[in-house]
Structure 1
C-alpha cells in the first residue's frame, strides 16, 4: 500500500511542477521495448500529457508506428465533415498479419454458424478499442498514443502470446474534428508554469466546445441512427469484423474518480442477454485489479446505464459483443484542483491506458467464454426469431422509406422488395416504395431493438432516451405480418432514376409529400422562378394534388419554358421527387389561378448561435438545412446580435436558449424586426423568455404531485421519474393547416424530451397539432405527466405586428434521424406567410 501511495503522490507532484512527464511513467516495466519503434516525442515533439495531441499530429504518429512495426497496419476509412481522416490501426502478431483476411473471414463464420463451438478455443479474439468520441474528453485519445507505442514496441513472451491470440482494432479518435477544436483551445490557453485554478480560461471552453463534431452532434448517440459520416465509417468497421469486445473511453466531471461497466443493473435493456452483463462484470474485475495496482479510485454499477443502443458502450450488446464504457474524471486541461486534490492530465491518461491494457488481458484470459457469447447469441437469436416479417413503406414518398432502408442496410439487415402492391393492417403498401424485413434472420435482435414499442420498464430513470422506434422516427407505414411472398432480396437499396419529365407549356406541380420537395423548391426559387402553393386540394384529369402542392406556372417567368423544363427534369431525377405536367388551369377543385394559389417568397434564414443557445439543437438545424437540404442558413452569434443587420432575413430561428442569450437591447431589436414582418421560429426554452417579452402567450400545464414518503436518498429518483427524458407520443393533425402540409395521415408520431405542455387554444383551428387522449406510443412517462399531456399542443403560432412568432415545445429535428417531423420545421420556413 505504501508503494501505491508513493507512486500516486510522485506522479501528481511530478506533473504539477513543470509537466516533466516521462513515457516510462505510463508503461509497464516488466517488458523490454524495441528501440526501432519511435516514441511519441520523437515524432510529435512531446510526451503524451505534456501537451494535448492535435489530430494532425496523432495521424502523423500513427503512420510512423505503422511504418516501423510489422505488428501494425493503418487504413483510412473516410473523412469527417472537416476532411480529417478516420484512421484505424490493426494490431496483431506479424504471422497473423500475413493471414489477416483469412482470420477475418473465419471470425465472421462465428456469426453465420459455419464453425462449431468446439473450434472457438483455437480462434483469436477481436477487440475494438475506441477513444474520445467526445473531443473535449482527451485523455482517451492521448492514451491511445501510449497504447499504440506499447503494442508495437513491447517485447517478451506475454505480449507475443497476447498478439498471437488477439486482433486489436485501435480507433485512436472517434471524433477528429472535436478533438482538434479542443486541443487548439487548451494548448492555446496553457501556461508554461501550470495554473491549476479551475477559474483559469484554459478550463472554460468557448461555445460550442470540443465535445461535438463539426455540426455540433454528440457522436455517442448515433451508433444506431447512423446519420453522420463518422458513425457510418465506425459501424462499417464493426460489421466488417464483428469484434468481441468494444471499449469506449470517456471523461466525466472533474470531481469524480473513474467508472467502468457494468452500469446500473436494473437499467440494462431487457434485450441484452444476462451473460453479456456477467462477462462485463468479470472483465471489470481485471480493471479493478489494475487500478488498485496504481492507487486509483474507481466505481462501477452506478451513474451510467446500458439501455439505449445508440451509444458506443451499448450498441455492441445487441450485436453479440461486449461494450465497455470507461469514464475518467477530467482535468479539462493540463491539470486543475478538484475536491479530490490536484488532478493532472498525465494521471487521467495513465488510468485510461491502464484499463486499455486490462481490457486486453481480460479478453485474452476469458477468450473462449467471450467467443462463446458471440456464437450462442446468434444461434439463440435464430431459435427465438418468429416466422413472418415486418413491412414498411411510405406511399407517394419512396425517398423517406428509402432513408430507413439505407440505415437498415448499414446494419446488415436482410431486406426484400414487395413484388406487388399489398394491403396490411389497414394500410396500403406500394411495391415501389415498400420493403420487407424477415424476422428469421441473423440481425433479428437489432431489428427488434430498432422497431419495438415499449411502455413498461424496470426503472423510471434513464441516462438517455427511453424510446427510439424507427417506425415512428421515419413516419413510415408499418405492419407486422405472419406470412408474405418475400419477393426479391435486395443487394442494394439505391433508388431507380425516375423517368423523364413530360414537358408542359402551361404549368408543373411538385408534390409536397415528397421528402426532398423542400430541397427542390428552394433550388427552383433560387433560379428566380416564381412558384405558388395550393391551400386547397385540386385534380387534373389523371392525378389528385393535396394541400401544399407547389405549382410552377410557365408564363411570365424570366426563364423560357425549355429552361424551366430542363431544370425541373434534372431536379426530379437527382432528388427522386414527382413533378407532374399540368396542361390546363381548369382543374377540379380550385383552378390554377385561384386566390387559394398563393405566391411564395424566397426564404432567407438566419439562426442564433453562441453562448446561451443549446448547441445540440442548433447543430441539428444547421445540419438539416446545410447538409441534407442544401439550404443556406446564416449563423448569427448571440454576442454579435446587436450589431447584426436583420433586414435581409425573412426568418430567424432561435433554438432552445436561456433568457440571457440576448441582451435587453437585443430583445428590443428582435421585437422590432418581427413587428416589421419578420418570421421568428423558436424552440423549447426560448419560448419561455419570448412569453416574458410578451411576444407570444400560452399557458403551461404543470403537475401538482407532492413528495410523500420519499426519503432524502430517494429524492433524485423522485425527480428523475417526473422527467420526460425521451419518449414518443401520438398527435392528431389538421391537414389543411400549412404547418402540416405534406403529411398523408391524420396522425403523427412526435418525439419529446421536455415537460413543456401547452394548453390548447379555445379556437380549434389554432391547434393544428394536438396530442390525442391516448398519446403514449413508446417510452417512459409517469402517470401524472401522461394525464397532463393529453390534448395539449406542441406548436403555437401568433402574429406580432406584421410578423409571425412560431414555437415548438420539442425538437423536430432530433439527432438528425427523426425524419418524420423534419417537414414541420421546413413548413414553418416556407409557409409562414400562409398561417
Structure 2
C-alpha cells in the first residue's frame, strides 16, 4: 500500500518537474507565451492540477485576463441560486471586440431566413466553449483557464487567425454551485501524498454530491424545461448569439478512456435533426479530435453509448438550432489521482485531454468557418420552408387556468418560438379554444424543430435502449390543452411578447360574506399556503356548486376553496388584505360572494365543505435516497407553493420528533433499516405518508398497506439461449427510460381535486407496477387499457402498465398512505401531475 502512494506522488512530481513545465505538459510543442499575461499558475499560486480551483478564483482569473488583455471582455449573464455570478469571457481581436454588437446583429440577421444572406467571407464564426455542467466532473473548468490563457497569450500566428475569424465565448462552469460543493469536498480530503485508493473519502463525496446544482437538479437535462435559473440565464445568452459551435464537457467512470462524437448512429441521435449535422459536420470535427489525442497517445472511442437524442442536453440543444453541439467525456480521477486497474489516472492527465480537444475544436471551427455559417443559415431556411409546406398550427390554451397558459407561453418565448393571438374561436373534438384564452404556434417558422419538440408525440425509434428519457413533449408535461389544425383554417393575430402575457390579475372585490378560489388554477396551492400560514380558516368543497359572484354566476369544482368572512380571527378588512395579497402573489382569480345560497349544488354552509389545516411537512433525504426526486419536490414546493418543507437526513430519523409533523414524504431510496413500526404507528394516529417509486415498493413490501405489486412472470428454468454480446441491448430495451401514458383520474377524490378532465398524462420511468386492489374508492388513478402516448416502451412492460394503478390512497387507522407508482414532479417539468402531489400534501388528512 505504501509503495502505491509513493508511486502516485512521483507521478505528480514528474509531471510538473522543473525540466517539464506546466505549459510543456499541457500545450503542444513550441508554444511560447507573452509574459504580460499571467498564466493560471502564476495567478492562482499553484500549478493547474495541483488543487481543484474554487469558482471564485476561476472568476477572478477571467476578470484579470479581461483587465490585462485588449482581446478579452467579461460579462455576468445572471446569478445562480446561491448567488454566484454566471460569467462569460469573450475573446476575439481588438477590432472584433470594438464592433461586437454589430457582429452579433449581423450574425443574427444572416441566420434569419427572412433576411438576405450575409457575406460569410468577412463574418467571424461564433463559438461557445461551455465547461463543467456537472460540478463533480471538474477537469474542464481548469481547462477553461488554460484555453483563455492560450488564446490571449500564445505567440502563435494561428492564434491571430483565430481571433480575427472567431468570437469565443468561454463559460468556465455551467454549474458553479455544484462545482464549489465538489471542490470543497475534494480539497478538504486531499492527502499529501495523494491517495489513489478509490475507497478513500476524497473519491467518494457525501450525498447529494457536486453533480447537481443548489436544488439537486442535473443542469444537463434542463436546456429544454428551463426550470432552473442557471438554465434560463444560459439559454437567454445562447439566443442572444446563436453560436455555430457549442462544446459540452463531461467526465465518466475512472476505468474508461475518452469519448467524443459521433455517438451511436441513428440510435443515439435526435430523430428530427438533419442528417447533415451527424453525417458531415460530426465526421469533420471527429478527425480533428482524433489527431489531437493521437498526438499525445491518449486512448479514445467514438460511435457508441452516450445518448444525444434528448433536446434538453447541452450537446443536443445546439443541433436543433443549426449549430454543432459536441459532447466530450473524459475518464475521471474524481480527485487528484485514482487507481483504475492497469494504471493510475491523475487530475492533470484528465485536464490535458480536455484541453487538447478544446484546442482541436477551435482549430476545426476556424478552418470550417464558412461551412458552419452557411449551414446555419441553410438550416433555419430549410426548417422554416418545410413548416410552411406542411401548413400546421398548434393551438393551445386553458380557459380555466390562464396562469398555466401563461407559464407555457413563457417557456415557448424563452426558446424564441413565435406565438400569435388567434382571431376566431377554434373547435377540435370536445375542445374549444377562445381568442382571449388561447394562442397559436405555426410550424412555418425558423424555430420549427423546437415547435415539434414542444408539441409532437414521439412514437417511432431507431433503437430500443435509452440513456435518458425517450419522450419530451412539454405540452404533455404541462398538461396544456392543445390541438393541431391547418394554417389555412385560422387567421393569426399579432405576435405575442412577454409583456403581453405579464400578470394582470383582477383585484378581488371586498366581500362581507365569503371569498371563493377555483382550485383548478395552478397557483391556488401558493394562495392556500399563504392564507393558512396567516391563520385564515379555509374549507374545501367535496361537491361542485355554482353560485352568484361579483362577476356573475360561476361554477366551482371539486377542491374549490371557501373563505367565510365571519369564521375568522381577523377583521373583515384584515382578511380582505390577506386575500388580495394571496391573489396577487399566486396570480389567481378570487371571487367574492354576498350570499351563501348557491344557484346549483351545495350551499356554502354545507357539511360537504371541510376544514383544511396547515400541514407540517417533512421529507427524508440523505445517503440512500434519490437526490433528484428530493430536489424536485424541494424546488417545486419552494417555487410553486412558496412553502418551506423540512428536509431531514434519513440517518437522523430515529431521533427526529415524527409526531411534530403531519406529512412524511419518502422518495425513491433504500429504507430497509428504517423503523417501519414507528412510521406505521404515526400513520395510524393520523399522519399522511406520501411515497413514490421505490419508496412505494418499500411501503408495500413492509405491509404498511394492503396493496400489492404487479410483477412480470419469470420462468424458473428457461430454455431460451441468446448470444452474450446481446445482453446489454436485451436488458436495456426492457428498462423504462421515460415515456408518457394515459390514466383515468378520479377527479372526485381529494388527490384528484382541481382537474376538469379524467384523462391524465403520466410520465413513467420506473418499473414499479401497482395492482389496483379490491377497494373501489382508493384507486385514485389507473392506467387505461390502451395507455401508450409517447416514448419507447418494451411490449412486455406495456402489458404490465395496462390496467395497473398509478396512484393509490389507502387508509390505515386515522391516517392515509398515498402511493405514486412514479414521480409526479419529474424534473419539475411535469406540471400536469404536480397538482396531484400538492393535493396529497394539503388534502391527505381529509381523505376518509
State the TM-score, normalized to the length of structure 1.
0.96
Residue pair 2:527, 2:585 contacting (<8 A) in 1 also: no
| Residue correspondence of structure 1 range 3-42 to structure 2 within 5 A | 14-15=11-12, 22-42=22-42
Q: Which runs of 4+ in 1 moved over 4 A?
A: 10-13, 16-21, 114-118
Residue 705 (structure 1) shift:
6.7
1:114 positional shift: 6.2
Check conservation: 1:796, 1:806, Cα contact below 8 A: yes
Question: 2:272 matched to 1:271?
Answer: yes
| 1:478 equivalenced with 2:487 (yes/no) | no
Q: 1:412 aligns with which of 406, 413, 416?
A: 416
Distance 1:709 1:229 in 2: 51
Checking the alignment, whether the CA contact within 8 Å between 2:8 and 2:195 is kept in structure 1 is no
Q: Equivalents in 2 of 1:210, 1:457: separation in Å?
A: 33
Q: Decide whether the 8 Å contact of 2:686 with 2:845 is kept in 1.
A: no
Structure 2 match to 1:585: 596
Q: Report which stretch shifted further, 671-680 or 645-654.
A: 671-680
Counterpart residue number, 2:701: 692
Q: Deviations over 1:345-384 (max 9, x none)?
A: 0000000111000000111112222222211111111221
Q: In structure 2, what is the Cα distance between the partners aligned to 1:427 and 1:24? A: 67
**Counterpart selection for 1:399 from 375, 398, 403:** 403
Alpha-carbon distance in structure 2 between the residues aligned to 1:348 and 1:798: 52
Structure 1 pair 294/115, CA: closer, same or farther in 2 (3 Å)?
farther
Q: Which residue of 1 aligns with 2:677?
A: 668
Residues 512 and 285 (structure 1), Cα distance of their counterparts in 2 relative to 1, 3 Å cut: same
**Alpha-carbon distance, 1:584 to partner:** 1.6
Partner of 1:288: 290
**Counterpart-to-counterpart distance in 2, 1:710 and 1:281:** 34
CA distance in 1 between partners of 2:374 and 2:8 (Å) = 40
- Residue 625 (structure 2) pairs with residue 613 (structure 1): yes
Deviation (angstroms), 1:593:
1.4
Residue in structure 2 matched with residue 324 of structure 1 by the alignment: 326
> Is the contact made by 2:705 and 2:817 (CA closer than 8 Å) also made in structure 1?
yes
Candidates 635, 653, 674, aligned match of 1:641: 653
- In 2, the alpha carbon distance for the partners of 1:177 and 1:628 equals 22
| Larger displacement relative to structure 2 (346-355 or 593-602) | 593-602
Partner of 1:597: 609
| Separation (CA, whole Å) in 2 of partners of 1:630 and 1:295 | 54
For residues 611 and 587 of structure 2, the distance between their equivalents in structure 1, rounded to whole angstroms, comes to 24
Q: CA deviation at 1:32?
A: 2.4
Give the TM-score of the pair, scaled to structure 2: 0.95
Note if contact 1:141-1:172 (Cα within 8 Å) is conserved in structure 2: yes
Is 2:361 the partner of 1:364?
A: no
- Structure 2 vs 1, CA of residues 155 and 710 (structure 1 numbering), >3 Å: closer, same or farther? same
Counterpart of 2:563? Answer: 552
Report the 3-state secondary structure (helix = DSSP H, G, I; strand = E; otherwise coil) of the residue aligned with 1:236.
helix
Partner of 1:827: 839
Q: Secondary structure at the match of 2:512?
A: coil
Label 1:340 to 1:280 Cα distance change in 2 as closer, same or farther (>3 A): farther
Partner of 1:495: 502
How much has 1:255 moved relative to structure 2? 0.4
Deviation of 1:95 (Å): 1.4
- Residue 420 (structure 1) shift: 4.8
Change (3 A) 1:320 1:472: same
Question: Considering only aligned residues, what root-mean-square deviation do their CA atoms show, in Å?
Answer: 1.7
Residue correspondence of structure 1 range 505-516 to structure 2 within 5 A: 505-516=512-523
Q: Which residue of 1 aligns with 2:428?
A: 424
- Give the alignment of 1:504-543 within 5 angstroms: 504-541=511-548, 542-543=553-554
Aligned residue in 2 for 1:73: 73
Q: Secondary structure at the match of 1:193?
A: coil
Residue 7 of structure 1 corresponds to which residue in structure 2? none
Aligned-partner SS, 1:199: coil
Contact 2:421–2:439 under 8 Å retained in 1: yes
Q: Spell out the pairing of 1:436-447 with structure 2 (5 A cutoff).
A: 436-447=440-451
- 1:500 and 1:118 mapped to 2: Cα distance? 50
Offset, 1:488: 2.1
CA distance in structure 1 between the aligned counterparts of 2:823 and 2:198, rounded to whole angstroms: 33
Structure 1 position 107 matched with structure 2 position 107 = yes
2: CA distance between counterparts of 1:59 and 1:118? 35
1:806 counterpart = 2:818: yes
Query: Residues of 2 paired with 1:295 and 1:388: CA distance?
Result: 52
SS at match of 1:350: helix
Please say if residues 509 and 579 of structure 1, whose CA atoms lie closer than 8 Å, have aligned partners that are also in contact.
yes
Mean CA deviation greater in 819-828 or 386-395: 386-395
Pairing of 1:199-238 with structure 2 (within 5 A) = 199-238=199-238
The alpha-carbon deviation at position 396 of structure 1 amounts to 1.1
Higher mean C-alpha deviation, range 690-699 or range 302-311:
690-699
Distance 1:615 1:498 in 2: 36
Q: Following the alignment from structure 1 to structure 2, what is the Cα–Cα distance between the partners of residues 499 and 331? A: 57
Aligned length: 823
The answer for the alignment partner of 1:47 in structure 2 is 47
Match for residue 317 of structure 2 among 315, 328, 345: 315
Q: CA deviation at 1:766?
A: 2.1
